[in-house]
Amino acid sequence: MDSITILTLYRTMLLMRRFEEEAARAYTERKIGGFLHLYNGQEAVGAGVIQALREDDYVVTAYRDHAQYLARGGTARAGMAELFGKATGCSKGRGGSMHFFNAETRFMGGHGIVGAHVPLAAGLAFASKYREESSITACFLGDGAVNIGPFHEGLCLASVWDLPVLYIVENNFYAMGTPVTRATGKQEVAVRADGYEVKRKTVDGYDVFATYQEAAEAISYVRDQQKPMLLEFFTYRYRGHSMADPAKYRTKEEVREWQERRDPITVLENRIQQEFPDLANKLEEIRTKVEEEVADAVEFAETSPEPDPETVGDYTYV
């Protein structure tokens, strides 16, 4: 892996973490309303997969979407402004936390209904195939979504029509407050792909080098073979399902063990220092710039205007 990719992955993951931490702070200060689902702990998955994509590929995801939006090139300013419900937000202040969107980077939105975006990913992939384009669609979803009807419908369509879509299941072991083993009977959920003869693989998702490499191989398969694939990553979210969830269904010791032994940012920092010592002196500079970027985003969001009530009908198509 070249130095530019390594440092880009580090910057992306750090930006994800600091953006979410500042969002959490603003939420507790009642500057952000509604639900707020944070990505802390899962950064290696979103950063690694999206880094392996091409610019002409599509990304669609669920409601835990801020970090993937940032990884796909969305600005921290527009993202934070959206959380604050401002007109300068990436969805013009109309979408909020669960509905980030950026057509310029082909980030086709976060979606608030569990599993409902899986068939949409099949539709995006169908469009690419119909137009004879080489772009693919990356669809992120959680382990809880594999029990939802649209997941099976989307996977079936992708299989029947040989659609170039990569389904990325972020298995963080809890569907809201329900352990995955109590909902599916098994820790590994990728086996659901077998029923549709879709190629699958399950890997650990805390080492961004591994997630990037596994994603690159899966993306090549989907693009070259014009067939779907499901890639499951074992990962872990540090906070509750949302900011409204105190996460009493797991112990503090369990969370602490993941943070101390498998924190994706710490793992990457250690690997850089041990395997790429010539890059280690650049980490502090990246940290400083990320802090400045996030602070600027918060200030931008706080000072941006509210949406004009007279524009309430804009962007309404039905």
Q: Which residues of the chain have pLDDT under 50?
A: none
CA gap 81, 87 in Å, rounded: 8
Q: Where are the domains of the chain?
A: 3-302
Tokens matching residue 145:
């979504």
What does the chain come to in residues? Answer: 318
The per-residue b/e assignment along 219-249, b for 16 or more CB within 10 angstroms, e otherwise, is bebbbeebbbbbbbbbbbbbbbbbbeeebee
User: CB under 8 Å to 8, separation ≥6 — which residues?
Assistant: 51
Q: How many CB atoms are located within 10 Å of the residue 291 CB?
A: 14
User: CB under 8 Å to 248, separation ≥6 — which residues?
Assistant: 177
Q: Does domain 3-302 have CATH number 3.30.1490.20?
A: no
Per-residue CA distances from 23 to 36, 45, 77, 201, 204 (Å): 8, 20, 12, 33, 27
Nearest to 51, CA basis, from 198, 223, 213, 227: 213
Instruction: Give the pLDDT of residue 185.
Output: 77
Tokens matching residue 246:
């105190």
pLDDT (tens digit per residue) in 250-280: 999 999 999 999 999 999 999 999 999 999 9
- Quote the Cα angle for 9-15-21, to 5°: 140
- Quote the Cα angle for 129-144-101, to 5°: 50
Tokens matching residue 214:
């596994």
**Cα R_g (the chain), whole angstroms:** 19
